[in-house]
Amino acid sequence: MTKKWWHDKVAYQIYPKSFYDSNGDGIGDIPGIISKLDYLHDLGVDIVWLSPCYKSPLADQGYDISDYYSIDPRFGTMEDMENLIAEAKKRNMYILMDLVVNHCSDEHEWFQKACQDPEGKYGNFFYLRDKKEGELPTNWRSYFGGPVWEDLPGTGKQYLHVFHKKQPDLNWENPELREEVYKNINWWLDKGLAGFRIDAIINIKKALPFRNYAPDREDGLCSINEMLKEAKGIGEFLGEMRDRTFKKYDAFSVGEVFNEKPEEIPDFIGEDGYFSSMFDFNETIFGASGKGWYDAAQISPDDYRNCCFESQRKVGETGFLSNIIENHDEPRGVSRYIPEGDCCLESKKMLAALNFMLRGLPFIYQGQELGMENVSFSSIDEVDDISSLDEYKVALEAGLTPEEALKAVARFSRDNARTPMQWSDEANAGFTTGSPWLKVNPNYTAINAAAQLSDPDSVWNFYKKLIALRKNPAYKETIVYGALEPVWEERHNLMAYYRKGDRTLLVIGNYQQKEQEVILPSECRKVLLNNYPDMVMENNVLKLHGYQVLILEL
Ligand code: GLC
Ligand code: CA
């Protein structure tokens, strides 16, 4: 495999609105990010991905872009963005932006022009269909609820939106649209961006001609996935985009890819793949139900391990997955993957190490390095996220009481990850001097960066050690390129694997409160990381404490 500049890096996702507010308006901003670059550098982060900060009405918090060439004033100016790129460079860091091109905002100029003249050039930038009274062009349900069709204002037509109605889908079949997308990507890469995280990209290819599928809920609609399963030929778009943009710049690209088939992996992330990498969502989608969040199954430690290993086996050494335990669309990893009641310092560190040492590129989501947890909502009025609001409705319609519906939604709400970053125990967790756009998790007095930086046993310092280990010249080859081999897979509540390269490492996590014993297959040469002060071993029998994690060199 040809070595790439990004293989040995560590990435970090920033959700700008909730990261750090520099001017007291309650909204995080780019100057705020710049002021925290040293914090990230100190942790050991190399690549920083920013969720969208382009001009946007923020109907979906910036994933609805009204101008791809400007920064939303709430987040700062273009000059701020240029400063950020320059300041990152000074620290040998790289900035990625979010590429949101399955759809734009209904406030984008293209959409406005399509409304004015649906038969003209810009009408063909979208999927428009003639409106028929009492009948929709298709019965697909949007990801955020309700039909995917909405009236195109001032015309006798309707437009397609697989997400919110303020996010009209762009017509990738139209070469003129594709040109506009490539032009924009190259414009940003010319500014010195290192690459992009690519949003919702699997939706750009639609199965044509449009048709209905069997309804799967009382609403008579069907999941978008039915149509996507039938859509063939996305590779032509993705390959063209790679060749016209990323490849020329040796840029890094990571795709938000769901439901890929094993045989497609080489095309997506192999040597000359469409993307440098793609996220592993196997754990994220575990237990999901077609009925809605309220019906989703809880993931167990064994499920978590099996999901990770399944992805690792699927990809093998074909390419590099990007590994996450959370992002801005998911609940906090420690609240989700650690059994209820067991979330503590040790279990948080265990989860961190088990995930971080997988083969692939580790991504840390803001606050993950502090062990930030889900927030509790006392009423649906405290919820901002459009997806959570829809799921609440779905749960009520399914017959849940308002309390049950709130509980179901709270478990998965995207707002869990979007509460402001907890910098200190000062007012509003030190995130803003004003009033924060979304409520701060009240546990900030206990969980915050200021306290953790100075505490050698904090989650933050554990992440710092994990990053330092990945970069340690003695182990780097093995951690970055070494093969992953699962061990003791039949054991209950135990996750363990080898990383084998020029050295042999063994990662072992006791995924439960009870002690557990394992017999080491060979002599332990060195303990590289331990989330306890001690390691109890007699002969080769290792007695693991509850939630103990060890990284050993054998
Ligand atoms: C992706 C984003 C999510 C957004 C959606 C529509 O899944 O991560 O936040 O709502 O795409 O752009
Ligand atoms: Ca601000």
CATH topology classification for 483-553: Immunoglobulin-like (2.60.40)
- Closest ligand to C-alpha of residue 73 is 2
Buried b / exposed e along 514-536 (16+ C-beta atoms within 10 A):
eebebeeeeeeeeebbbbeeeee
- Give pLDDT, residue 209: 97
How far is the centre of ligand 2, averaged over its atoms, from the C-alpha of 326 (Å)? 24
- pLDDT tens-digit profile of 277-334? 999 999 999 999 999 999 999 999 999 999 999 999 999 999 999 999 999 999 999 9
* Best probe residue, ligand 1, of 204, 329, 363, 413 (max atoms within 8 Å of C-beta): 329
The minimum-distance atom of ligand 1 relative to the CA of 64 is: 12
Q: Answer whether 336's CB lies under 8 Å from 288's CB.
A: no
Q: Pocket of ligand 1, candidates 13, 50, 54, 60: which has the most ligand atoms within 8 Å of its Cβ, to mutate?
A: 60
Q: Which fold does the domain 11-100+251-462 belong to in CATH? A: TIM Barrel (3.20.20)
In angstroms, what is the span from residue 421 Cα to ligand 2's centroid? 13
Ligand nearest to the CA of 58: 1
Instruction: Count CB atoms within 10 A of the CB of residue 335.
Output: 18
pLDDT score at 10 = 98
pLDDT surpasses 90 at 146:
yes
CA of 143 to the centre of ligand 1 (A): 10
pLDDT digits (tens, 9 = 90+) for 90-108: 999 999 999 999 999 999 9
Q: Which of 256, 280, 326, 346 is catalytic?
A: 256
Q: For residue 261, is pLDDT > 90?
A: no
Q: Give how far Cα 384 sits from Cα of 100, 104, 295, Å.
A: 21, 21, 21
Where does the pLDDT of residue 495 fall: very low under 50, low under 70, confident under 90, or very high at 90 and above?
very high
Nearest ligand to the CA atom of 51:
1
Ligand 1 pocket (Cβ < 6 Å) reads: 60, 63, 100, 163, 199-200, 256, 328-329
Closest Cα to atom 12, ligand 1: which residue? 63
User: In 3D, which of 161, 140, 141 has the Cα closest to residue 152?
Assistant: 161
Confidence of residue 267 (pLDDT cuts 50, 70, 90): very high
| Centre of ligand 1 from the C-alpha of residue 198, in Å | 10
Distance 33 CA to ligand 2 centre (A): 10
Q: Which atom of ligand 1 is nearest to the CA of 60?
A: 10
Neighbours of ion ligand 2 (CB under 5 A): 21, 23, 25, 27, 29
Condensed to tens digits (0 to 9), the pLDDT of residues 294-305 reads: 999 999 999 999
- CA–centroid distance, residue 68 to ligand 2 (Å): 20
Does 260 have pLDDT greater than 90?
no
**Mean pLDDT value across the chain:** 97
pLDDT greater than 90 at residue 256: yes
Task: Give the tens place of pLDDT for each residue, 202-215.
Answer: 999 999 999 999 99
Q: In 250-288, where does DSSP find H-type helix?
A: 265-269
Note the pLDDT of residue 549.
99
Q: Name the residue with the closest Cα to ligand 1, atom 6.
A: 63
Q: What is the pLDDT of residue 259?
A: 85
The domain segmentation of the chain, as residue ranges, is: 11-100+251-462, 109-160, 483-553
Q: Whose CA is nearest to atom 2 of ligand 1?
A: 199
pLDDT, residue 88, reads 98
CA of 27 to the centre of ligand 2 (A): 4
- Residue 507: pLDDT band with limits 50, 70, 90: very high
DSSP secondary structure, 427-451, as one string: GGGGS-SS--SSPPPGGGGTS-HHH
Question: How would you label 39-48 residue by residue, b for 16+ Cβ within 10 Å and e otherwise?
Answer: ebbebbbbbb
For residue 73, is pLDDT > 90?
yes
Per-residue confidence band for 1, with pLDDT thresholds at 50, 70 and 90: confident
User: What percent of the chain is modeled with pLDDT above 90?
Assistant: 99
Beta strands in 100-185 (DSSP E): 128-130, 140-141, 149-151, 157-160
Residue 234 reports pLDDT greater than 90: yes
Ligand nearest to the CA of residue 74, numbered in listed order: 2
Instruction: Identify whether 199 is a catalytic site residue.
Output: yes
* Mean pLDDT (whole number) for 383-412: 96
Quickly state the pLDDT bin for 161 (edges 50, 70, 90).
very high
User: Among 199, 228, 414, 416, which is best to mutate for testing ligand 1, by the most ligand atoms less than 8 A from CB?
Assistant: 199
Whose Cα sits closest to atom 11 in ligand 1? 200
With CA atoms as reference, report the closest residue to 50 among 23, 28, 67.
28
How many other C-beta atoms can be found within 10 angstroms of the C-beta atom of residue 244? Answer: 16
- Please tell me the predicted confidence (pLDDT) of residue 238: 98
Annotated catalytic, 226?
no
Determine the atom of ligand 1 nearest the C-alpha atom of 386: 10
Question: Which of ligand 1's atoms lies nearest the C-alpha of 63?
Answer: 12
Q: Render pLDDT for 168-227 as a digit per residue (tens, 0 to 9).
A: 999 999 999 999 999 999 999 999 999 999 999 999 999 999 999 999 999 999 999 999
- The ligand 1 atom at the shortest distance from the C-alpha of residue 144 is 10
Mean pLDDT of 342-353: 98
- Active-site entry in 199, 346, 369, 390: 199
Reduced to 3 states (helix: H, G, I; strand: E, B; else coil), residue 56 is coil
Of the candidates 99, 96, 101, 93, the residue with the CA atom closest to the CA atom of residue 126: 101
Q: Which of these, 3, 76, 19, 112, lies nearest to 328 by C-alpha position? A: 19
Task: Report the separation in Å between the CA atom of 514 and the middle of ligand 2, taken as the mean of its atom positions.
Answer: 46
> What CATH number matches the domain at 109-160, 3.20.20.140, 1.20.1250.20, 3.40.50.970, 3.90.400.10?
3.90.400.10
Instruction: Supply the residue whose CA is at minimum distance from atom 4 of ligand 1.
Output: 63
CA–CA gap between residue 59 and residue 147 (Å, rounded) = 17
Q: Is the pLDDT of residue 42 over 90?
A: yes
In the structure encoding, which two tokens stand for residue 101, read together?
């091109």
